[in-house]
Chains A and B, each alone.
Chain A
Amino acid sequence: MVNIAEKQNYNAINSYGIGFGKKTKEEDTEHAKDRLLCEEMKKHPITTSAKIQTDKLVKAVTTYPKKGLSGSKNANFYEFLTMGMVPYLLGSAAMIGVFNLANKFFDTPGAVSASKIGKKMGIGVVLYGLGKVLSKKLIEKPLKWKYGIENLPYDKVINELPEENNKDNLEAHEYHKVFESVDFPYFNLFYDNKFYGDKKNAYFDKVAKKMGMEPTEYSDQQTKDKIREKVVQSRVFSTLSSYLWAATGVAIASQKPWENLVLNPSKRIHNFINHVKLTQQAKTSVKNKVKDIANYDFFIKDFGKKFVKSTKELVNKGSKSSVYAGRILLGCAIGMTLLGNFKTLFDFNNNRGNKKQAASSLIDENKEKVVC
């Protein structure tokens, strides 16, 4: 029996892919539990998110399609959704490809005008993605700062059913988010979580305090409904605003300044070498030369400058109607984000959730309570 258990754990670690922290031997022999990645997200938010995304992407193109196409009984909805990354990435690549890859076959003027459109398309795809991802933070972060509510990732352990071709390697890991389902938020992960404090309800106490309530021994019951409500609001507005920001990104990408952006790396290096040569020839002091070289428009700087210029052109340049359209689009995106913040940060639903109301309708203060 022991042997089998050890083998299973060995396999589990193998299938784990990218792991978080080292486990002691004692932990290894225990049955693996779902784990909230609160500590990792606090200490290394960027690397942790990157690790999760890489792990998901690798599995989305390897393990999950294999399972799905063979019709495995262990295939699940999470895997289906994770595989959704594939069409996103392939679709973006196809979109860039359709407008760029055939250019070299065209004649020179044809290729030049095609490459201008192609460049804008490519940048459009990039800015669409950036707009979509980053704009969500504009609603999610204020919510976190004000109420401490954050859709944290957790490591979910799946114990799979044995299959015809796989009878041993039965532990799988998935990266879910605590509030990915508003119908069934995974509140349990917050109980007894040492990261938030020693008390069982430490997390809920913290949220209750932030919500202006007096923390009680049943602070979880006090806050859960409100947390759920805030999560729904933040989800709706971050979703709707994210597509508007994505559209704004595409609109910014359709402006003229991008046409001059050099994307070819070898050409960029060549340009930089020319710049250095020119600086060396110039009759100035060494200090100025160094300054000149340091001030060169490197890719990120160049990209940033063109981005700012394009954004200005979106709202100021071109025909009257296009200027209005640009302003309306940007205005809608900003407006939706502001509305989202307004709705999530301020409580308009005062009838429920505060201590008095909670006490009168849901829980009778005078009765003995069992906290489960």
Chain B
Amino acid sequence: MSNLLDQALSKQPVANQKIAPAFTFDSEGKVQPMNPKGHLLPSKIFGSPIEYAKDIKKDIVNIKKASNGKANDHELGRINDLGIKIGSLAIAAYLCVKNPLKLDKTMQFAGFASFFASMALLPKLLIQLPLKLRTGVDIHQKYVDSQGRKKMLYQDPQYDLTDLYSQEDLDKLGKKLNVSENLPDRNNFIKQRAKKVGVQGNTLWMMTAGAAPIFSALMCNAAEKPLNKAIEKFDIVSTTKGLASRLNLESNISEYQNTDKRNIIEKLNEKLFNKSMKDFIKSNKDKPLDEKMAKTIAQKYGKRINSADIQSAVEKEILAMNTSGKINMTFIKNALKGTVKPEVFESLSEEQLKMINNAIENNSFKGIAEVISKATGASKREQVKVANKIISTLQTSKNQADVAKLGEVIKPLEGLHEAMSDFAHNKNLLDKYISARIGDKSGTYIANIWDDFTSSALKSLKLNNKELKELSNGNLELLESKLQELVKDEGAYTKTVKKLLSIIKDYESKTGEEFTKTISDESKKICRSAKQGFKKQGLHTIAQRITGPSDAKSAAEMIGTLENTINKNAKERITGAGSSFYRLMQALDIFKKANNNTLTEEIKTILKEQTNKAGSEMADDALEASAKKLVEVCKKVVLNATTTDYVEKLSTAGYELSEIEYKTVMSAIFNNTAQTTLENAAKTETKTNIINGIINKVKSKLHSTQNATKENTKEVLDGFKKYKQEAREKIANWRNPITPELGKRVLDTATNSADAIERNNLAGKPIKSMAQDAAKKMYNSKKWLKIWGTLGIVIAAGTIAAGLFLGKKGKIEKEAEAKNTSND
């Protein structure tokens, strides 16, 4: 000991460094320890983020110190906590990069955040807060020790720190803990009880902390939908901005390069791609440029540009480079070795070289011999001799020449790369713009609105869990009966129709003319400017594949071009979802009409008309029976028909309908002049509608721009009529009775043609599969939530309830109280 004392006394302070004295002297001059400087921190349930950031900064400094072997237990403990965070962030970051979908990417961080949130929040909300409110003891009370380190007061029960409580604190605690006022040594009892609550609370914390993943999963589940919406909004804004930063290749490329608006990830991607292409060519430069090689390179570009058509064009272009690639001076020199001396080549002028080059390129060697023999200074007779020799040598060499090596076509490849990367950049921007709205993945506008539409429709059927499961297994009778129930209830029907029409209205406004016009304008600009770029590099095949021949006059010549495909794909997707929406409206309408018998009447009228046209008449009984049958057929058609059923007359094959009956059914379903029940429903004012109307009125007064919200759904109903007309013309027009042979023939031609695709999109998704898919999704998530939600609630309630039993008076305290009262 004395050694240490000696050292401490003799220690010289390092310059500019303050060293706190390790001890002090009392009045008699004896050594005594310093007075403790520890104090409690204000008790807070939630810490401030600034403090949190400061702590992390401290930890990072500590790591540096500790890596040189200088750290204490407290610091090492904190480094461990930091390690957990670094590791978890690394996991989230990796999984985020690995998952292609934006929602999954975001969910990785949501998962990370929710896990730490549930680890940090659960004990606070379920244990710390209730205990603090009931007993006044904050089990996570922090204090600062004499060395300035922040620690937990109740961490180690054997290290009693309750002395840090002031008398005022103790009085407050005593009151909350219900410690008898006039107990002798009351403070001690209070401290003991506070410590007891601390130990008990911390134990309860350890016992329940294992449930954190359950709460984290529940939080993620709740966050999924809002996150999807947020991603949609973010994507729409960012892709709009992205498209605005499109390269203007027509004017001046360097202008763009000065005002590069691309974000860092795009730039990095491009750099990586450029580098990987360069590396690829460099490492394969001695390999032959054969078909396989051309395919490999083309695939890389095809992937980058996301088009198989362009990929095949690139392949062709690269193969074409093969011939031109062989024509260079090395080739000629090698071919003419022995015929012409090497010095001759050096004496040739630039023009002469060009001439030789062109001669070989065009396979016409006229004049070339003259050039070379002139350069050699031979006589005219000799000239002819030499010329013939040169021509035959060059020709045989050209025919026998090996396939060029990749390294020989670097120049044209670079040209291709340059034109391609500008185009790829622009096309990717447009792809992203389109994809954020109507892409076939989660988190896009179309995916979200589809979910909205199908789940709203499903909710209106009011299914219980059992029914939901049955529907998810494809129980069609249930769907029919539930639809019938819905149309019987006037109020529910009106509400459903209004809701669904408003969703369709939103869909139409977002995917309407404005949107398709942007796509067509932008694709035109992008493709036209890219065409110039490729042409400049002499890559005509690609240029033609992008926009079609420059002298294209008819639309037919444009089919299959990239520009056309972009527009066509977008249109198909918009129509596909839109038709599915309309189909459900159509189903609702047909079921409603069937319910109030207007459909039967309509069918009767049409049947009569049709039979009269055919020159015959139907008896009333037969008419009634036939109409009744056809109503059922109508219901089946609206629910089941798919486009492959088109050849089987939209699911009516099983009913053996006559031509008249078939036409009647189609007329009844697709009659666009008849009054629909949807119109009535849209007009009906419901209570919420009236309230909304008032709110909108107030709003429109406040903001003059909000007038549009009051707009009714007339446009949607007009769109519905248009849809019916188009569908009637294109998918309900089959007149001949179906036979198996005819069916097969039609199927063969119908499934592959452009018409077939159009019909497919018009037919949309059959209601039965739409309902089944939506039911599956809802059933699964409900089931999952039921299991884990219940468990979560039980754990949470159990933890809070267990907290109520903590901090009870001990036997000794009770005895002391009893003794005290008896003394009184």
Contact = CB atoms under 8 A, between A and B. Distances in A.
Instruction: Determine the main DSSP class of A at the interface with B.
Output: helix
Interface in A202-239: 228-230, 232-233, 235-237, 239
Interface stretch (A20-28, A41-49, A74-82, A266-274): A74-82
Given A243-B90, A254-B94, A343-B68, 19 more contacts: A64-B203, A65-B206, A83-B207, A86-B210, A93-B210, A94-B211, A97-B214, A105-B787, A164-B810, A181-B73, A239-B79, A239-B83, A244-B87, A246-B87, A250-B91, A251-B91, A254-B95, A320-B276, A362-B7
A68 B780 contact: no
A368 interface: no
Contacts of B88: 243, 247
A130 interface: no
Nearest to B472: A107
Interface string B131-170: 0000000000000000000000001111100000000000
B377 interface: no
Given A107-B776, A182-B76, A232-B70, A91 B94 contact: no
B94 A247 contact: yes
A297 to B, nearest CB: 27
Interface string B479-494: 0000000000000000
Contacts of B802: 69
A95 interface: yes
Nearest to A234: B69
A319 interface: yes
Nearest to B785: A102
A228 B203 contact: no
Between B195, B209, B807, the greatest number of chain A beta carbons within 10 A of the residue's beta carbon is seen for B209
B213 interface: yes
Interface in A321-335: 321-322, 324-326, 329, 332
Contact of B73 (A70, A102, A183, A250): A183
Between B84, B199, B787, the greatest number of chain A beta carbons within 10 A of the residue's beta carbon is seen for B199
Given A77-B157, A244-B90, A72 B199 contact: yes
Contacts of A228: 69
B784 A229 contact: no
Given A77-B156, A87-B210, A94-B211, A102 B783 contact: yes
B83 A243 contact: yes
Interface in A92-116: 93-95, 97-99, 101-102, 105-107, 110
A325 B97 contact: yes
A102 B69 contact: no
Contacts of A77: 155-159
B86 A90 contact: no
Contacts of B90: 243-244, 247, 329, 332
A246 B91 CA distance: 9
A329 B802 CA distance: 42
Question: Considering the complex of A and B, which 6 residue pairs feature the smallest CB-CB distances, nearest first?
Answer: A90-B210, A68-B203, A243-B87, A229-B69, A71-B196, A87-B209
B87 A247 contact: yes
A349 B203 contact: no
B256 interface: no
A242 interface: yes
A233 B65 CA distance: 9
A92 B788 CA distance: 15
A24 to B, nearest CB: 32
A233 B66 contact: yes
A291 interface: no
A68 B202 contact: yes
B212 A349 contact: no
A42 B705 CA distance: 82
B780 A110 contact: yes
B149 to A, nearest CB: 11
Nearest to A225: B69
A133 interface: no
A254 B155 CA distance: 37
Interface string B762-785: 000000000000001000100110
B647 to A, nearest CB: 28
A4 to B, nearest CB: 23
Between A64, A89, A232, the greatest number of chain B beta carbons within 10 A of the residue's beta carbon is seen for A232
B69 A322 contact: no
Interface in B190-207: 192, 195-197, 199-200, 202-204, 206-207
Interface string A105-131: 111001000000000000000000000
B806 interface: yes
A91 B203 CA distance: 16
Contacts of B811: 164
Nearest to A240: B83
B93 interface: yes
A242 B79 CA distance: 12
A346 to B, nearest CB: 12
Interface string A300-320: 000000000000000000111
A206 to B, nearest CB: 20
Contact of B812 (A86, A164, A233): A164
Given A107-B776, A182-B71, A98 B788 contact: yes
Given A77-B158, A236-B66, A325-B97, A242 B206 contact: no
A137 interface: no
B308 interface: no
A19 B91 CA distance: 41
A94 B206 contact: no
Contacts of A230: 69
A68 B776 contact: no
Contact of A75 (B100, B203, B213): B203
27 contacts: A68-B200, A70-B200, A71-B197, A83-B206, A84-B206, A86-B206, A86-B207, A87-B212, A88-B210, A90-B211, A91-B209, A91-B211, A106-B783, A107-B776, A107-B780, A229-B68, A240-B79, A240-B86, A243-B83, A243-B88, A243-B90, A319-B100, A322-B98, A325-B94, A329-B94, A349-B68, A349-B69
Nearest to B473: A107
A69 B802 CA distance: 9
A84 B206 CA distance: 6
A101 B802 CA distance: 27
A228 B68 CA distance: 11
B616 interface: no
B776 A110 contact: yes
A232 B199 contact: no
A320 B196 CA distance: 56
Contacts of A99: 217
Contacts of A244: 86-87, 90
B203 A83 contact: yes
Contacts of B72: 182-183
Contacts of B473: 107
Nearest to B214: A94
B272 interface: yes
B202 A80 contact: yes
A236 B94 contact: no
Contacts of A250: 91, 94-95
Nearest to A93: B210
A233 B788 contact: no
A80 B780 contact: no
A77 B152 CA distance: 11
Contacts of A183: 72-73
A73 interface: yes
Contacts of B330: none
Contacts of B68: 229, 233, 343, 348-349
Between B84, B91, B209, the greatest number of chain A beta carbons within 10 A of the residue's beta carbon is seen for B91
A65 B201 CA distance: 11
Nearest to B72: A183
B466 to A, nearest CB: 13
Contacts of B79: 236, 239-240
B17 interface: no
Contacts of B597: none
Nearest to B197: A71
A274 to B, nearest CB: 31
B67 interface: yes
